[in-house]
Amino acid sequence: MKWVVLVGSVRSGSFNAALARALEPLSPDGVSIEILPSVAEMPIYDGDIEAAGIPGQVSSVGDKVRAADALVIVTPEYNYSVPGGLKNAIDWLSRLKPQPLKGKPTLIMSASPSTMGGARSQYHLRQVLVAVDADVMNVPEVMVAQAHTKIADGTLTDQGTRDFVAGQLAAFHAFVRKAKAGEAAEA
Ligand code: FNR
């Protein structure tokens, strides 16, 4: 089973990118994970650019999301919401046909140095994902609070958090399998 990961932060020392890198070894057997190109590679959404032709960076991410069994979004919280770059990426993807996020089994997680762990960004993100009709898993939720105490030198070191993330990934694996079984039954 193939999952792709969209990271909401573009900085080199990102806690969220570190969390994204930690996912594959914590995932159930048989899951392979690819981290998608940085959201910084997409231009700011502009209807004129779209009219001239969808940028290659956008269509290539769209193709990867479409081909994957599931999507994981790992994002920081900026001013109680998602970073603009992540919202921009979702806005671009929503313009593709077929729309790659529609019905896609999707998992959200966040990391923040705060004690809230990015919870507010997750709830804003859930609202946006309603618009694109993604199939978002509700629970369990993962918010890595006080991320600077759990991630060191780009590695998720805190064992309790690693176990918690592994539990969420196992639940998501079951969620994706159920979604795929439903699709197969409909076909
Ligand atoms: C933040 N940060 C932040 N944290 C949080 O928990 N709630 C918030 O509302 C905000 N707001 C915010 C706005 C802006 C513009 C910046 C740059 C930062 C702090 C943020 O969680 C912290 O910088 C993280 O380290 C960013 O994630 P990465 O880059 O480490 O993945």
Q: How much is the average pLDDT of 68-84?
A: 98
Atom 4 in ligand 1: residue holding the nearest Cα: 77
Measured from the CA of 80, which atom of ligand 1 is nearest?
9
Handedness of CA 166, 122, 15, 70 (dihedral sign): positive
Amino acid at 117: G
Domains (range + CATH), the chain:
2-186 (3.40.50.360)
Cis peptide before 105 (omega within 30 of 0): no
- Of 173, 178, 180, 177, the closest CA to residue 28 belongs to 173
Instruction: Decide whether any atom of ligand 1 lies within 6 Å of the 81 Cβ.
Output: no
Find out whether the beta carbon of 8 lies less than 6 Å from any atom of ligand 1: no
Are 2 and 69 in contact by the 8 Å Cβ rule? The answer is yes
> Model confidence over 109-141: pLDDT tens digits?
999 999 999 999 999 999 999 999 999 999 999
Say if ligand 1 is within 6 A of residue 28 CB.
no
Whether ipTM tops 0.90, in short, is yes
Report the C-alpha gap between 1 and 70 in whole angstroms. 8
Token output for 132: 């694109």
pTM, rounded to two decimals: 0.98
User: How far, in Å, CA of 7 to CA of 142, rounded?
Assistant: 15
- Does 183 score more than 90 pLDDT? no
